[in-house]
Each structure stands twice: as structure tokens, then as C-alpha cells.
A = this chain, B = another copy of it.
Amino acid sequence: MIIIMKNNFSEKDLNEINLRLNESGLKGQKIEGTEKTVIAVVGPINPEHRDEFSRMDGVASVVRISKPYKLSSRETNDQDTVVKLPFNVQVGDGNFVVMAGPCSIENHDQLFETAQAVKSAGAHVLRGGAFKPRSSPYSFRGLGKEGLQLLSQARSKYNMPVITEVLSVRDVELVAQYSDILQIGARNMQNFILLDEVGKTGKPVMLKRALAGSIEEWLLASEYILSQDNPNVILCERGIRTFEQATRNTLDLAAIALVKQLSHLPVISDPSHGTGLWNLVEPMSLASVAAGADGLMIEVHPNPEVALSDGPQSLKPDNFKKLMDVASKLSDAVGKPMASLPY
């Protein structure tokens, strides 16, 4: 931690800083530059120290040196995390994994038709929303428990693991009964109590990046789960909010490449939400493969024009099939081939 002094600091300011450093078990070393005087601080620094010292008299600002996240960092653990799922699927082991299915589970036929299509096209995990976060209270909010039961039936019929979103602490237990992966949506990335609770289940958790979530905050959010002794965290980039409105969000693929360097956690990409436009899903899926993602999450719907949610960004089964063919070729080219199908 580096304390940068104001130009007009006094000896009294310095003394009080040193006193406080001693009380905190820290050690400061004054360095006089040409323009500025700084105090380099070493010792057991905690997240609050920066704020505390920045508010003291004579201090201009305080710069943190260490990264605030630990458990998710490659500096702590350089070995890639591999998240094991039922049906012999693994995320993060060097193969490429595709999760696909409808945004919302609407009824039996819609789900099963989609599941059949994505399975046969080569998807590894079936997605489907039962609890849906919607901007407007007047929109369809999901089938709830009935949706979970349908998902579970599709899981058995098609022999593939499933993923669905959990919106609230009160549903964690219920969703954990039915789903192989608990999805934390972008709007809940910093719903810290929910993070605690999904962490406690020990089940795999897929943590989406918030619309305004910095990479650092995203990794810190993963620490809430990891610090519950649950190492099974998958990160998912799904686009951030920027000034550009021609796409629904701005898919930040450099974040995927950077997080792969900073962290040992697997990272997948969601070009459906990341663009909001079905005809951008294929190019951005391919770009995700090339950027180093460990997998994709894609919305597929048999009739997007009557979907109860996210129709504009959903692929039809034939387009999904076409996407899988080119993505497969590309994943070979970059040395991260498609994972074996679930069985």
C-alpha cells in the first residue's frame, strides 16, 4: 500500500499516520520524490486500510498494491479449475463445452423439442429458465417449480446435465434439487447473500458478470462462493452495458482472455445476451472460441417469434446446428476441441 501525501502535509500529519500504522501492525517507509512524498506500507494490510488512511490529514490518496481477490487468483493457485458435472461432462479441462436451450421453459413440448435438437447438434448441457428476472413486472416470469420438474425430466430423457437460474435465497434449496449447475444471473452478481447460499450447497455455480461489473468485482464476487469451500465456480461473460445501443450489450471478449490469465477458473461466453441479436450469435460464438473461452451458452428456441422471452436473440435449431459445425472446426484449430458428448 502506498500513501501519497499532499504537497502541504505537516510533520504532525506524518506522526499521526505512523502512530496509526503502528497500531495496525503495519510499517511505513517515507520516500521523498521530486514532486511528492509517499509512504510505502508493508505488513498485514486488509481491505479497509486504504479507505482509513486516505481519510487522514495530509493524505492525498492511497494506492493498493496487492490484488483484493485471493482464492480465485492464479497467483494463489496456478492449476486450472475443472468443474465436474454428471453425465461425464467437465468444464475447464481443455475441451470446449456448449450449454444450449431455451431462455424460458414454456411448456413440455417446447423444452423437449429444443433439448432433442441441441443434444443431437452436439450440445453438452441443457439450459432453461424456470425463474426469470424481467425488467417489467408485467412480463412472463417463468413456470417456477413446474419448470424445474420439466427440466429434470428432459435431463433424464436426453442424458445431459442441466443449468437453470436461481433468483433468490429462498429458492436455492429447491433449485439445487433439480439443477446440476446453479446459475447466478448478471443482475445478481453482487447479491452477496445469494452468493453465500449457493456457495454453501457445494454444487457447481455459474456466475455471470454484471452489466456494470468490473473484472475485479467479478472475481471478488466469485470469492464469496469459493470462500464457502465450494471450488466449483464457472464464470460467464455475457456483455457489459456501454453507450453503444445497436447491440443489447457489448460482449467483452478481452475480459475472457484476461480472466484466463488472472484466474484459474473456467470462463464461458454468452453471445446471445452479449449481443441480443440472433444473427450476431454465430460470429460472436466463433470469436469466443478464438479468444480462449472454455465454452458457450446459447439460447435456442424452436419458434423464436413466439418465445415468451428473448426471442430476438434465440437461434432456431437449424442455425444452432450450423453454428456447432463451424464452432467445432474452429475449436479444433485453436487446440481446444469439443468435449465428448454426455452419456
Asked if A287 is an interface residue, CB under 8 A from chain B, the answer is: yes
* B223:A136 contact, CB within 8 angstroms: yes
Copies of the protein in its oligomer: 4
How far, in whole Å, are A180 and B256 apart by their CA atoms in the complex?
36
CB distance from A245 to the nearest CB of B (A): 6
Q: A192-224 vs B: 1/0 string, CB under 8 Å?
A: 111000000000000000111011110011011
CB distance from A202 to the nearest CB of B (A): 17
How far, in whole Å, are A55 and B135 apart by their CA atoms in the complex?
20
Query: Which residues of A160-212 have CB atoms within 8 Å of chain B's CB atoms?
Result: 167-170, 187-188, 190-194, 210-212
Given contacts A40-B38, A136-B68, A190-B133, contact A286 B55 (CB under 8 A): no
List 7 additional A-B contacts (Cβ < 8 Å) besides A214-B243, A287-B288.
Answer: A20-B305, A33-B66, A48-B140, A134-B192, A210-B212, A254-B274, A258-B277
How far, in whole Å, are A306 and B51 apart by their CA atoms in the complex?
9
Residue of B nearest to A330 (CB): B333
* B253:A244 contact, CB within 8 angstroms: no
Asked if A75 is an interface residue, CB under 8 A from chain B, the answer is: yes
Q: Which residues of B contact A212 (CB under 8 A)?
A: 210-212, 240-241, 243
Interface size class of A (residues with CB under 8 A): 35 or more
Given contacts A51-B312, A168-B194, contact A246 B258 (CB under 8 A): yes
Given contacts A52-B307, A55-B312, A247-B258, contact A33 B65 (CB under 8 A): yes
Pick 6 A–B contacts, CB within 8 A, sort by A. Answer: A33-B40, A33-B45, A34-B66, A136-B223, A210-B211, A242-B242
Instruction: Select the stretch in A115-123, A148-156, A289-297 that faces chain B.
Output: A289-297
* B244:A215 contact, CB within 8 angstroms: yes
The residue from B52, B274, B312 contacting A305, defined by CB atoms under 8 A apart: B52
Select the residue from A33, A170, A194, A256 with max chain B CB neighbours within 10 A. A33
The residue from B32, B42, B140 contacting A42, defined by CB atoms under 8 A apart: B32
How far, in whole Å, are A334 and B66 apart by their CA atoms in the complex?
41
